[in-house]
Amino acid sequence: MSTQQNRGDAIYASLRQAIIEQALKPGVKLPEDQIGEAFGVSRTSVRGALIRLSAESLVEMRPNRGAAVATPTLEEACDVFDMRRTLEREVVLRLCRNLSTRAIDALETHLGEQERALMAGGPRSIRLTGEFHILLAELTGSATLAQFVNQIVSRCSLILAHYGRPHSGECGCEEHARLVAALRERDAEAATRIMEHHLGAVQSRARLDGGENDPDVTEILSRYVRAAS
Amino acid sequence: MSTQQNRGDAIYASLRQAIIEQALKPGVKLPEDQIGEAFGVSRTSVRGALIRLSAESLVEMRPNRGAAVATPTLEEACDVFDMRRTLEREVVLRLCRNLSTRAIDALETHLGEQERALMAGGPRSIRLTGEFHILLAELTGSATLAQFVNQIVSRCSLILAHYGRPHSGECGCEEHARLVAALRERDAEAATRIMEHHLGAVQSRARLDGGENDPDVTEILSRYVRAAS
DNA sequence: TCCAGAAAAATTGTATCCAATCTTGACAGA
DNA sequence: TCTGTCAAGATTGGATACAATTTTTCTGGA
């Protein structure tokens, strides 16, 4: 899923990372020409990457009108966060049932990286805190679960970029540390509680209460549009 | 996700259906030329469709060697079925919390279709029994959950095509009826039990016990290949 | 007969090209 | 000044073209 064999893969990975790190903000247009030129490839390869990103709901492709970084609606955002809760609860339960010491080592190594990145600041930190959750999912040994979590966490990044306060990444990673501690003890009850609380905190960084986030005129107006009458 | 705006969409939908209905069996090569000619379009459009299908793990694309209907490994198959259990349990729980009478009507209408298709036989039946589960997921109102279930159920179809007994679709739909009955009563305990049992039955149609299913030589031999020594 | 290696054919990866569609900006009329 | 219309420019959808790679076929030698 990472190494670049085709040019399309490389572009896919780069664009994806840029979106997740919130360098490409929701709504930004992604003209094939321009991207192709930036990467030094033709539109053909770019198109392949965009198709894949749109399959993940990270970009929207409207026919004849080009691609843009997706702008999730409020409803979508809530749905995605709900789904994330569901999936990550499952991750924690599976990990408590079955977690090697090697896995715990991997988690703690990653915790260290997160802290260092947090010190240093920058987009790397945003990405790493997300990747922690993906690592958790991978450690369940279920490729499918890991893939779904990967997708959902990426979309959460996007949502935070859209609705979150400026530069709001996921979290200070202190709760991550507590989660790892609970997992080490195989304490499913505590682990799910921490995860639940943690995701609640992440979600609360988004202003999903319908408050005045962005003057997204078209979206607001679309609610008042009726069939031509 | 269905109406064909671009040519790529049309091909995507057609190929997907063919795979799910087990008309295109796992391992079958999908040369871009040939498919393009079959649909009367160029390779460009075909490629787009294949990219999307490979993002769903329904086809495998190996660099410079073309696309083929995916041939899930045994491990993958088990993983997918596990994930399906996880997701569909969530579907049932959500539905018991919140299910309109309109939704129940929709389910019963669909049950009727399934029965009729089962009488008539043919690939339509295979597809419809799968679509019942997708309908369930859609009725939760969560687009994300529905999409994940859609993907997972499709992959299960593929797995049954690979490992299942000949023409083994999902199931006689009698358990579907019992599930709807339990949902109507909002009986979460019974509903999850039925779903669990039902998916167990579906899974058991696949010979995932490692028995002698297919002489998948390359895969078998790959376990004996060591680094060149 | 069987195998190794080379040539030919087939297939993919990617760039380029054209028509269709959308967007932008200018211009005329109110 | 504002608004509606239309032409010019930009962008996408899709086909074609060509180089790179793989697969198949052919051939010569053991």
User: Measuring from the CA of residue B36 to each C1', which nucleotide is nearest?
Assistant: D15
User: Which CA distances in Å does A9 have to A15, A172, A188, B161, B225?
Assistant: 10, 32, 38, 30, 28
Residue B10 tokens, joined: 């049309």
The DSSP code sequence of chain B is --S-SSHHHHHHHHHHHHHHTTSS-TT-EE-HHHHHHHHT--HHHHHHHHHHHHHTTSEEEETTTEEEE----HHHHHHHHHHHHHHHHHHHHHHHHS--HHHHHHHHHHHHHHHHHHHH-SHHHHHHHHHHHHHHHHHTT-HHHHHHHHHHHHHHHHHHHHHBSTT--S--THHHHHHHHHHHTT-HHHHHHHHHHHHHHHHHHB-TTS-S----HHHHHHTT--S--
What is the C-alpha to C-alpha distance for residues A49 and A28, in angstroms, rounded to an integer? 16
CA of A215 vs chain B CAs: smallest distance (Å): 25
Confidence of residue B201 (pLDDT cuts 50, 70, 90): confident
Range with the lowest mean pLDDT among A218-222, B11-15, B210-214?
A: A218-222
Asked whether the beta carbons of residue B83 and residue A44 sit closer than 8 angstroms, the reply is: no
Is A51 in contact with B56 (Cβ distance < 8 A)? no
pLDDT tens profile A110-122 = 999 998 988 887 7
* Cβ–Cβ below 8 Å for A86 and B145: yes
Nearest-CA distance B116 → chain A (Å): 34
Closest CB to A142 among B48, B82, B145:
B82
Residues of B in contact with A152 (CB under 8 A): 144
pLDDT tens sequence across B84-131: 999 999 999 999 999 999 999 999 999 999 999 888 877 788 788 889
Which residues on B lie below 8 Å from A5 (Cβ)? 63
> Residue B166: is its pLDDT beyond 90?
no
Position B212 pLDDT exceeds 60 = no
Domains and CATH numbers, chain B: 7-69 (1.10.10.10), 74-205 (1.20.120.530)
